[in-house]
Structures are given as structure tokens and as C-alpha cells.
A and B are shown apart, each in its own frame.
Chain A
Amino acid sequence: MSVVVLVEHTEGNIKKKSLEAIQYAAGIAQKTGTTVSAVVLGTLADNVMQDLGQYGAQKVLHVPDARLNQLHARAYTNALITAAQKEDSKIIIALHDINGRAVAPRLSAKLKAGLVAGALSYPDLTNGFAIKKQVFSGKAFAYVNITSDVKVITLMLNTFPLSKTEGSASIQKLDVNFSDKDFGIRVKETNKITGDIQLADAQLVVSGGRGMKGPENWGLIEGLAKELGAATACSRPVADAHWRPHHEHVGQTGGTVRPDLYIAVGISGAIQHLAGVSGSKTIVVINKDPEAPFFKAANYGVVGDALEILPRLTQAVEKFRQNHK
């Protein structure tokens, strides 16, 4: 028996959030007296896979089919079910991201397994198999008990800090019987965003609202983000006005972020905006209105004109970076 976990990789490396998922699976394996089998789909070097042992995987099941370098949710589902059967697994883990959210529900439906989507805790086994998750876009949490025999979990990224240990995973090739149906979705064109930091996975985010006055001032947001190594985001009216692209819009009806640091500049802090950023560990608010609701949700606040403060902050970060090289 083992806990099966779907591992994601990009440009030859395992994604950090997948290391978090492996470590999470290892925590569950320890609680339930089993081991961790990591499932790697697509092309990846052996030494990279062996290193998954450093985060708690005993075994890697590798399906080296190059078609799996792209998201094919039915093929991924098929591979995970094959892995789960081979390992006699009752617990399957993926990430609560675009891939995990395409695959985990399919596994759940296929295996009649309860799903916790967006886990924020290890399962509490004293009372069944209860896991904490966010509901109402972060306005509350629920403890969901999975009552079925097989259990499927998608883990929220940036929930548990990573710690590396010694270890090397053994690699086995996994044979999966794919059918044409598994590749029914045909990819015509792919545009990968390279260079920029991915907002959904970002550790640091600088976000601008209507208080930035107009797109011509966004150089200040980008300048700070660049100095920090942060991704950029915005409030909904900013995306609606086409000051910024839609994928930067965060909040209840946009993206959700869970960075270590969220810097909100000229954003009032409406409940719909807070919903998308409440998972941030530290929030800094820069706003000229001391009564702006965002200050109530903030750890640090600066009252003043963003257009004057941003250059100073960028400079201070630059100085800090130079002193901490």
C-alpha cells in the first residue's frame, strides 16, 4: 500500500509546489503506516526523479510518454488509476492547480472517492479522515470528512514549508494502456509565459488598484516587482478598464494567490478583493486613505501617495538586496 501523488515538472525540473505535495503525502504515509509513490508523467531525467527521495518519496513511477508533456487530463487520470491499482493505494494526491483540478475530480468520479479540493491541513484521523479547506473564497474554512474507502485530495500550494532530508527514490517504469480517447483534446497552439513569474505560484506579489490612477503609472509597480523578484497583480476594475491583462485580476471572481508577501498599492480592500488574497502570509497596504478597509486585513501599512512611496520602496529594496548579497 502507498500514497500516490501526481508530480509536475517544467523545463526539466520538479515544480516547488510538487515537492510540497510529496512532503504532504509523506506526512500522510507516516500517519497511516504506508509509503509514497510519486507519479511522473512525460519526459524527465532519472537523477531529478531520484531526488524526490529527499522530500519523502520512496518510489517514482515514471510514464515516459512524451505526449504527457502536455495536459491530457484523461490520460493523466488513466495513469494515476493504473498507479493506484498497482500500489493498492487508497489515497491519491494532486495539487490544487490547473492540472490537479482537471485530474482529481475525474479520479474521484471514477473511483467513487470523496474529494477534498484545496486541502490546508493533514487529515485528522481521530475522527475519520477530516481535512481543513477554504470555503467562501477564504471567508471561512470547513472540515470535510472523507467517508469513502478511496480518498482524493488536492493540496493548496504554499501551505507547508519545505524541508529537505537525505534520500533517494527508486524509479520504476509504469506501463499504462492508453486509448485514443485519452488524447481526444487536440492542442493547436501553446503560448507559455516565460521570463515572468507565474502569479498563481508566486511567493511575492505586488498588486495595484485604481489608486494607481492609470496604466501609465504601472512602471512603478513593475519596478518594485522586478527588484523583489515578485509577480504583478491587480484589482478587478483595473483589469476591466484594460489597464492590465485579465489574468492579473485577483479576488473572488479572479485568481487566488497565496504568497508569503502581498503588497497592495492603491487598492481599497473590498470584500471581493480580500477573498482572493486572504491566504497571503504577510500583507502590506499602501493607501492614501487611512480609513481604507484594506488596513484592517494588513500586517503593515503605509499611509500616503503611492506614486511617491513606490519609488522610495523600490530604492529601499534595492539597497537591501545589495547589502544582503
Chain B
Amino acid sequence: MKILVCISQVPDTSTKIMLENNNTAINNQGVTYIINPYDEWYALIRALELKESGTATDVHLITVGKANTEQIIRKALALGGDEAIRIDADSNDPYETASQIAGYVKSAGYDLILCGKESIDYNNGAVGAMLAELLDMDYIGFATDIQAEGDLVTVKREIEGGEETVTCNLPVVVACQKGVAEARIPNMRGIMAARTRPLKVVAPIAVDSVTSILSYELPPAKAGVKLVSPDDMDELVELLHSEAKVI
């Protein structure tokens, strides 16, 4: 079984977002970038577990990004993985990203494609399902457990109002969230080994653009907190009723 893990580079979760160029761009000065937590903690680690248990033969990592994303791909390789691919394109549209990955997958062939529930920068949660459609595959989102045997996967997934266990034949795209695996910390051996693993840079294919970001906006500042005495909860309830009108 060949596994491909989709890795996205995102600003560290503690980043305070600032804008520039008349609010048409994110100011990335001083921003540190990390592997999208869902991709690292769950998708990548589960792929490595499947390799360690002998279920998977190869684990490849892919990212769509310019040269500045190589540091996170190296970081991902330090956790494990046999080979990394970077498609040299700058995209913040999920259709463009998915089309780039699909273009590569068509020539390489994978049985299981793992991605994260969503990237914490653009919060689309769309690339995985788009990829599945472009590749004529099934897609299982919001996975909390993934087992694989032969050409069958068994996945626990969150559904509207509950949870479900489903099975599906390979090939399939699965989007991972909490539960799928436990996060790991890279060790020195991994970091050294990562240096020698191949990182392939692939030229992008031509994809029609379907969206563009016109501008950004920061949330308005809160008006300030109104303090209520801990001895007067009746007042708090009254404020929630007559002022905030939420109960």
C-alpha cells in the first residue's frame, strides 16, 4: 500500500495576524510557519504507524508551495516518510491546490491519500474532497480512527449528530482529525535521516483560477468587558436577557 500525505504550511497557532498593502495581504514579517497541525499530528503520524506495522510500503509527503515551504517539508520528513514532493506553485485556492496534487497523483498512483481536516490558515476543509472528485475516488472526512487491511479501509468518522464506522475499498482520500493518532516529537536520528531523503521539486500544471482574494479585514475590537459582581448572578442573567438578548 502506497500512502501519500498532504502537508500544508501554516502560520504558528500563536500568530497575531497583521495586514499590509492596503489590507490586500497578510504581513508575514516575524511569522513562524509550522506544519498544519491536523496534517502533522494525525495524517502523517497515522501514515507512519501504518508503515511501521507493515501495512504500508511507502509513505510520500506532498506540499504545494514555493521554495519557502521546504523547511516544513524537511520537518515533516524528520518525523518519517520515504520521499517528499514539492509542487512549485503558490496557491491559496483549494481548487488550484487540489488540481496540482491530482496532477501529480495521476502519474504516481497512490492507494491511500491522507490529509488534515482543514488547514488552519484558510479554514476551507476542501482540498481533500476536491482531490477525491478530481481523481474519481471516495472521500471520508472528519476521521477519528483509520484501520487498513488488504485493499480495505475501516474508518470511524464524525457525522452530523453522531459518529459512524464505515468501510471503503482503496483508493480513497481520508481527512484526519483528533483521535486518528497521537502526536510525536522528532528525534535526532530522524532529523539527520531527513537530510538524506529525497525532496523532489515538480513544476506546476496549468490550472484555471476560480477565485481571488480581494482584501482582508481584522475583527472589530470588543467594546470592553462589563464586570458583574460574583454575588449578583441575578444581574448577569438579567443582562443576558434584556441587554444581550441571548436568553
Contacts and interface: CB of A to CB of B under 8 A. Distances in A.
**Interface size bracket, A side:** 35 or more
B244 interface: yes
Contacts of B178: 239, 246, 249, 253-254
A134 B123 contact: yes
| Main SS class of interface, B | mixed
A109 B130 contact: yes
B164 interface: yes
Main secondary structure of the interface of A (DSSP, over half): mixed
B179 to A, nearest CB: 6
Interface in B212-247: 212-219, 222-223, 225-231, 233-234, 236-241, 244, 246-247
B166 A285 contact: no
A103 B160 CA distance: 13
A204 B17 contact: no
B233 to A, nearest CB: 4
A284 B243 CA distance: 13
Nearest to B238: A320
Nearest to A297: B222
Interface in A226-284: 228, 239, 246-247, 249, 252-254, 260-261, 271-272, 275, 278, 281-282, 284
Contact of B161 (A10, A136, A184, A296): A10
Given A140-B219, A284-B236, A114 B164 contact: no
B239 A300 contact: yes
A66 B134 CA distance: 27
A325 interface: no
B interface bracket (residues with beta carbon within 8 Å of A):
35 or more
Interface stretch (B54-62, B72-80, B137-145, B197-205): B137-145
A272 B121 contact: no
B208 A112 contact: yes
Given A106-B133, A137-B123, A303-B227, A296 B222 contact: yes
A261 B160 contact: no
A298 B233 CA distance: 16
Given A98-B141, A186-B166, A252 B240 contact: no
A67 to B, nearest CB: 14
A118 B16 contact: no
Nearest to A97: B160
Contacts of A305: 230
Contacts of B15: 136, 139
A136 B236 contact: no
B247 A320 contact: yes
Nearest to A281: B246
A198 B161 contact: yes
Interface string B87-129: 0000001110011000000000000000000001111111111
Closest 6 pairs between A and B when the two form their complex, measured CB to CB: A304-B230, A114-B210, A105-B129, A109-B133, A316-B233, A192-B162
Given A106-B129, A142-B215, A320-B234, 9 more contacts: A73-B139, A105-B94, A114-B211, A118-B124, A144-B212, A253-B13, A253-B37, A260-B246, A282-B246
Interface of B: 11, 13-17, 19, 26, 37-38, 41, 93-95, 98-99, 120-134, 138-142, 144, 154, 158-169, 178-179, 208-219, 222-223, 225-231, 233-234, 236-241, 244, 246-247
14 contacts: A102-B129, A102-B141, A105-B130, A139-B16, A140-B218, A148-B208, A189-B165, A192-B161, A239-B178, A246-B178, A253-B38, A254-B178, A316-B233, A316-B236
